[in-house]
Amino acid sequence: MRDTAIGVLGGENRPFTLHQAQLVRQWSDDVVFFPHRIVLTDDERARFDARGIRVVEGEVARLTVAQHRLQGVELVDGRTVARTAVFVGPRFVPRDDVLTALGCVLGENGWVQVEPTGRTSVPGVWAAGNVVDSPAQVASAVGAGASAAISLNHHLLAEDVERALAARSHSVG
């Protein structure tokens, strides 16, 4: 998408959408932000202005597509702004039913809380990757999974040692 006409559509995830507009500005000089239902503060508007991100106010009606290619963003008032690509800020929802059913404590952000090793509040339960860390990438999710696996194995090993010790003292006793 480098150097093409990019649009960013105001989505449910307000902070992420605003960040995304600044992010894709790294790829193109031609970025238009469509606030849609987001009301920008003066500060946010100034930050867009400063980096040459154009703001087109108005409710978005639809994206126009022809021959499987995006043509533009159509507003409710009938205007169409030609765009090659449009990004939206999605709301990230962890699929953590298993963890919440087991009683794992949630953090202030509503996501299951883990220690750096991935250990949750429930003994014997570890979690890693996107289920506890929405900005995780493949590399960091894999790394967190490896750390959790090591921690989990230490936990199992400690149990084995304790069990062996108990069995030995029982037989000696």
Ligand X SMILES: Cc1cc2nc3c(=O)[nH]c(=O)nc-3n(C[C@H](O)[C@H](O)[C@H](O)COP(=O)(O)OP(=O)(O)OC[C@H]3O[C@@H](n4cnc5c(N)ncnc54)[C@H](O)[C@@H]3O)c2cc1C
- Give the residues lining the site for ligand X (CB under 6 A): 95, 98, 129-131, 136-139, 141
Which residue in the shown chain puts its C-beta closest to ligand X? 129
* Other residues' Cβ atoms within 10 Å of the Cβ of residue 62: 11
Q: Edge-to-edge strands of the sheet including 69-75?
A: 60-66, 69-75, 80-82
Cβ pair 25, 52 in contact under 8 A: yes
Work out how close the CB of 139 gets to ligand X at its nearest, in angstroms, rounded to a whole number: 6
Q: Residue written as tokens 């996107």?
A: 130
Name which of 23 and 98 has its Cβ closer to ligand X.
98
Q: How far is the CB of 33 from ligand X (least distance, A)?
A: 20
Q: For ligand X, which is the closer residue by CB, 53 or 131?
A: 131
Which burial class, exposed, middle or buried, applies to 56 when counting CB atoms under 10 A from its CB (0-12, 13-18, 19+)?
middle
Of 61 and 106, which CB lies nearer to ligand X in the complex structure?
106
Cα–Cα distance measured from residue 142 to residue 58, given in angstroms and rounded to the nearest whole number: 42
Closest approach of Cβ 9 to ligand X, in Å? 15
- Whichever of 43 and 97 has its CB closer to ligand X, that residue is 97
Tell me the closest approach of the beta carbon of residue 96 to ligand X, in angstroms: 8
Indicate the angle between helix axes 14-24 and 42-50, nearest 10 degrees. 20
